[in-house]
Chain A
Amino acid sequence: MRQGLRQSMAWLHAWSGLVVGWVLFAVFVTGTASYYKAEISQWMRPELGAVQADPVRSADLAAAFLKGKMPDAAGWYIELPKPEEPLITVHWWKSLEGPFHQALLDPETGAPTKARATKGGDFLYRFHFELSMPPMLGRYIVGACALVMLVALVSGIVTHRRIFADFFTFRRGKASQRNWLDAHNVTGVLALPFHLMIAYTGLVTLAPMYMPWGVQTAYKGDEIRFFVESGMMPEMRAPAGRPGELASVGAMVATATARQGEAPEGIGIYNPGDAQASVVATFEEPHGLAHLHPQIAFDGATGAVLATNGGVRAAATTSAVMVGIHEAHFAGPALRVLFFLCGVLGAATVATGLVLWTVARTPKGAREAGLGLRLVRILNLGTIAGLPVAVAAYFLANRLLPVDLAARAEWEVGAFFAAWLLVALFGAARAEARAWPEAFAAAALLFCAVPLVSAATTGAHPFAAGARFVGFDLAMLALAAGFAFAARKAGRGVLDTARRRAARTPAEEAFQA
Chain B
Amino acid sequence: MSARPIIGLRYRAAVLGRVLLAALGGYAVAALATGLLSLVLPMPRSEAVVTATLLSFALMVAVVVAVFAVRSLGRAALVVAGLALPLGLGLWLAGAFAGAA
Contacts and interface: CB of A to CB of B under 8 A. Distances in A.
A211 B37 CA distance: 13
B5 interface: no
Contacts of B4: 363, 370
B50 A318 contact: yes
A213 B47 contact: no
A211 B30 contact: yes
Interface in A212-228: 213-220, 226
Interface string A359-382: 000010001101100000000000
Interface string A197-237: 00010011001101101111111100000100111000000
Nearest to B61: A150
A5 interface: yes
B57 A219 contact: no
A218 B49 contact: yes
Contact of B44 (A3, A204, A229, A322): A229
Interface string B24-53: 000000111011111100011111111111
A12 interface: yes
A214 B65 contact: no
A204 B44 CA distance: 20
B49 A219 contact: yes
B15 interface: yes
A500 interface: no
Nearest to A5: B69
A204 B30 CA distance: 14
B53 A207 contact: yes
B83 to A, nearest CB: 15
A151 interface: yes
A217 B14 CA distance: 34
B3 A319 contact: no
B interface residue count range (under 10 / 10 to 19 / 20 to 34 / 35 or more)? 35 or more
A367 B64 CA distance: 35
Nearest to B100: A220
Contacts, number: 117
Contact of B68 (A9, A215, A220, A318): A9
A315 interface: yes
Interface in A1-25: 1, 3, 5, 8-9, 11-12
Contact of A214 (B15, B37, B64): B37
B35 to A, nearest CB: 4
B46 A211 contact: no
A214 B34 contact: yes
Given A155-B68, A315-B43, A214 B57 contact: no
Contacts of A8: 68-69
B9 interface: no
B91 interface: yes
Contact of A314 (B14, B15, B31, B47): B47
Contacts of B39: 217-218
Contacts of B56: 207, 211, 213-214
A367 B3 CA distance: 8
Contacts of B53: 207-208, 211, 214, 319
Contacts of A422: none
Contact of B54 (A215, A315, A371): A315
24 contacts: A1-B11, A1-B68, A8-B68, A9-B65, A147-B64, A150-B61, A155-B65, A155-B68, A207-B56, A208-B53, A211-B30, A211-B56, A213-B56, A214-B34, A214-B38, A214-B56, A218-B38, A218-B39, A315-B54, A316-B46, A316-B50, A318-B50, A319-B53, A363-B3
Interface of A: 1, 3, 5, 8-9, 11-12, 147, 150-151, 154-155, 158, 200, 203-204, 207-208, 210-211, 213-220, 226, 229-231, 313-316, 318-319, 322, 363, 367-368, 370-371
Interface of B: 1, 3-4, 11, 14-15, 18, 30-32, 34-39, 43-54, 56-58, 60-61, 64-65, 68-69, 71, 91, 94, 96, 100
- Going nearest first, the 5 A-B pairs with the smallest beta carbon separation are A214-B38, A230-B46, A214-B49, A370-B1, A315-B50
